[in-house]
Structure 1
Amino acid sequence: MSLPESDRELIVDALGREPTAAESALFENLWSEHCAYRSSRPLLSAFESEGESVVVGPGDDAAVVEVPTADESDDLYLTLGIESHNHPSYVDPFDGAATGVGGIVRDTLSMGAYPIALADSLYFGSFEDEHSKYLMDGVVEGISHYGNCIGVPTVTGSADFHADYEGNPLVNVACVGRLPPENLITAVAQEPGNKLVLVGNATGRDGLGGASFASEDLDEDAETEDRPAVQVGDPYAEKLLIEANEVLVDEDLVESARDLGAAGLGGASSELVAKGGLGAAIDLDRVHQREPNMSPLEILLAESQERMCYEVRPEHVDRVAEVADRFDLGCSVIGEVTEGNYVCTYTDDAGEREIVVDVDAEFLGEGAPMNDLESVTPETPSTTLPDPAPALSEAFEAVVASPNTASKRWIYRQYDHEVGVRTSLGPGDDAAVLALPEVSPPGVDAAGDVADEPVGLAISAGAAPHWTASDPVAGAKAVALENATNLAAKGATPIAAVDCLNGGNPEKPDVYGGFSGIVDGLASMCETLSVPVVGGNVSLYNDSVSGPIPPTPTLAMIGSRPGVDVPTASVDTEGELLLIDADDSGPAESLGGSEYLAQFGGTAPGPDLPTDPSARLDAITAVAREPTTRAVHDISQGGLAVALAELCTPHVGLSVSLPEPTTDAGAAGVLFAEGPGRVLVQTTDPTAVRKIVGDAGRVRSLGHPTDDGTLSITVDDTSFEYTMAEIRSLRSTIVDALE
Structure 2
Amino acid sequence: MADTVEHAAQTPDVEQPYAALGVKDDEYARIREILGRRPTSAELAMYSVMWSEHCSYKSSKVHLRKFGELSQDTPRGPLLAGIGDNAGVVDIGQGYAVTFKAESHNHPSFVEPYQGAATGVGGIVRDILAMGARPIGVMDSLRFGPLDESDTRRVLPGVVAGVGGYGNCLGLPNIGGEVQFHESYLGNPLVNALCVGVLRHEDLHFAKATGVGNQVIMFGAATGGDGIGGASILASETFDEDGPAKRPSVQVGDPFMEKLLIECTLELFQAGIINGIQDFGAAGISCATSELASAGDGGMFVNLDLVPLRDPNLAPEEILMSESQERMMAVVEPANVDRFMEICAKWDVQATVVGEVIEGDRLIIQWHGETIVDVDPKTVAHEGPVYERPYHRPAWLDAVNADRAEDLPHDNSPEALTSAILTILGHGNIADKTWVTEQYDRYVRGNSVLAQPEDSGMLRIDEETGLGIALALDANSRFSYLNPYLGAQLSLAESYRNVAVTGAEPVAITDCLNFGSPEDPEVMWQFAEAVLGLVDGCRELGVPVTGGNVSLYNQTATAPILPTPTVGVLGVIDNVATRLRSGFAHPGDAILLLGETREELSGSIWASALHDHLGGMPPAVSLEAEKALAAVMGEASRRGLLSSAHDVSEGGLAVALAESAFRAGLGFAVTVPEGDPTVALFSESAARAVVSLSGADVEAFEALCAEKGVPVTRLGEVTGEPELEFVGLLTLGLEEALSAWKAPIPAAMA
User: What TM-score results when the alignment is normalised by the length of structure 2?
Assistant: 0.92
Instruction: Decide which of 41, 48, 57 is 2:82's aligned counterpart.
Output: 57
5 Å-filtered alignment, 1:121-520, equals 121-210=141-230, 211-222=232-243, 226-340=246-360, 341-347=362-368, 353-378=369-394, 379=397, 381-382=401-402, 383-385=404-406, 387-390=408-411, 391-437=416-462, 452-520=464-532
State the superposition RMSD in angstroms: 1.6
Distance 2:377 2:498 in 1: 43
Give 1:646's aligned amino acid: E
Partner of 2:6: none
Instruction: Decide which of 698, 703, 718 is 2:716's aligned counterpart.
Output: 703
Distance 1:268 1:692 in 2: 52
1:381-414 alpha-carbon deviations (Å, 9 max, x no partner): 1224464445222221211110101111111111
Give 1:524's aligned amino acid: D
Partner of 2:636: 623
Note the C-alpha offset of 1:49: 5.4
Question: Does 2:679 correspond to 1:669?
Answer: yes
Partner of 2:10: none
Give 1:266's aligned amino acid: S
Question: Does 2:736 correspond to 1:723?
Answer: no
Distance 1:98 1:183 in 2: 28
Partner of 1:614: 627
1:673-721 alpha-carbon deviations (Å, 9 max, x no partner): 222321001011211121111152210000001111100124xxx6112
Question: Does 2:536 correspond to 1:524?
Answer: yes
Note the C-alpha offset of 1:562: 2.2
In the alignment, is the contact (CA less than 8 A) between 1:120 and 1:158 conserved in 2?
Answer: yes
Give 1:648's aligned amino acid: A
1:394-442 alpha-carbon deviations (Å, 9 max, x no partner): 221211110101111111111111111111111101111111116xxxx
**SS, match of residue 257 in structure 1:** strand
Distance 1:387 1:364 in 2: 54
Give 1:164's aligned amino acid: S
Distance 2:59 2:442 in 1: 37
Partner of 1:683: 693
Aligned residues with identical type, % of pairs: 38
Instruction: Decide which of 520, 540, 560 is 2:552's aligned counterpart.
Output: 540
Distance 1:274 1:182 in 2: 24
Note the C-alpha offset of 1:181: 1.7
Distance 2:364 2:345 in 1: 28
Per mean C-alpha deviation after superposition, the further-off stretch among 521-530 and 16-25 is 521-530
In the alignment, is the contact (CA less than 8 A) between 1:77 and 1:179 conserved in 2?
Answer: yes
Give 2:437's aligned amino acid: Y
With over 3 angstroms needed to count, the CA separation of the structure-2 counterparts of 1:574 and 1:436, relative to structure 1, is farther
Note the C-alpha offset of 1:528: 1.1
In the alignment, is the contact (CA less than 8 A) between 1:377 and 1:517 conserved in 2?
Answer: no
In the alignment, is the contact (CA less than 8 A) between 2:661 and 2:668 conserved in 1?
Answer: yes
Partner of 2:580: 567
Instruction: Decide which of 18, 23, 28 is 2:43's aligned counterpart.
Output: 23
Question: Does 2:594 correspond to 1:580?
Answer: yes
With over 3 angstroms needed to count, the CA separation of the structure-2 counterparts of 1:164 and 1:546, relative to structure 1, is farther
Distance 1:651 1:304 in 2: 47
Partner of 1:660: 674
Distance 1:201 1:464 in 2: 38
Distance 2:150 2:422 in 1: 23
Partner of 1:445: none
**SS, match of residue 558 in structure 1:** strand
In the alignment, is the contact (CA less than 8 A) between 1:344 and 1:358 conserved in 2?
Answer: yes
1:288-327 alpha-carbon deviations (Å, 9 max, x no partner): 1101122110111100000000011111111111111111
**SS, match of residue 418 in structure 1:** coil
1:57-79 alpha-carbon deviations (Å, 9 max, x no partner): 1111111111134xxxxx01111
Note the C-alpha offset of 1:199: 0.3
Distance 2:639 2:186 in 1: 44
**SS, match of residue 606 in structure 2:** helix
Note the C-alpha offset of 1:86: 0.4
In the alignment, is the contact (CA less than 8 A) between 2:468 and 2:572 conserved in 1?
Answer: yes
User: What TM-score results when the alignment is normalised by the length of structure 1?
Assistant: 0.93
1:184-224 alpha-carbon deviations (Å, 9 max, x no partner): 1101222221111000000001100120221111224446x
1:599-643 alpha-carbon deviations (Å, 9 max, x no partner): 214422112323623223212322233323111000011111110
Question: Does 2:747 correspond to 1:736?
Answer: yes
1:501-536 alpha-carbon deviations (Å, 9 max, x no partner): 111001111111111121111222122111111110
Note the C-alpha offset of 1:164: 0.6
Distance 1:624 1:592 in 2: 33
Distance 1:45 1:195 in 2: 34
Distance 1:494 1:591 in 2: 27
Per mean C-alpha deviation after superposition, the further-off stretch among 390-399 and 555-564 is 390-399
Give 2:541's aligned amino acid: L
Partner of 1:441: none
In the alignment, is the contact (CA less than 8 A) between 1:108 and 1:115 conserved in 2?
Answer: yes
Give 2:383's aligned amino acid: G
Distance 1:419 1:154 in 2: 9
1:344-367 alpha-carbon deviations (Å, 9 max, x no partner): 1001xxxxx221111100111112
Distance 2:705 2:109 in 1: 45
Note the C-alpha offset of 1:228: 3.6
Give 1:540's aligned amino acid: L
**SS, match of residue 731 in structure 1:** helix
Partner of 1:448: none
Distance 2:128 2:282 in 1: 15
In the alignment, is the contact (CA less than 8 A) between 1:39 and 1:370 conserved in 2?
Answer: yes
In the alignment, is the contact (CA less than 8 A) between 1:29 and 1:209 conserved in 2?
Answer: yes
Distance 2:641 2:213 in 1: 62
1:474-527 alpha-carbon deviations (Å, 9 max, x no partner): 111111111111111111101211000111001111111111121111222122
In the alignment, is the contact (CA less than 8 A) between 1:201 and 1:329 conserved in 2?
Answer: yes
Question: Does 2:71 correspond to 1:46?
Answer: no
Distance 1:62 1:609 in 2: 29
Distance 2:730 2:510 in 1: 42
Per mean C-alpha deviation after superposition, the further-off stretch among 513-522 and 229-238 is 513-522
Give 1:237's aligned amino acid: M
Instruction: Decide which of 566, 583, 597 is 2:607's aligned counterpart.
Output: 597
Distance 1:405 1:517 in 2: 27
Question: Does 2:569 correspond to 1:557?
Answer: yes
**SS, match of residue 67 in structure 1:** strand
Note the C-alpha offset of 1:226: 4.6
> Where in structure 1 are there 5+ consecutive unaligned residues?
70-74, 348-352, 439-451
In the alignment, is the contact (CA less than 8 A) between 1:281 and 1:344 conserved in 2?
Answer: yes
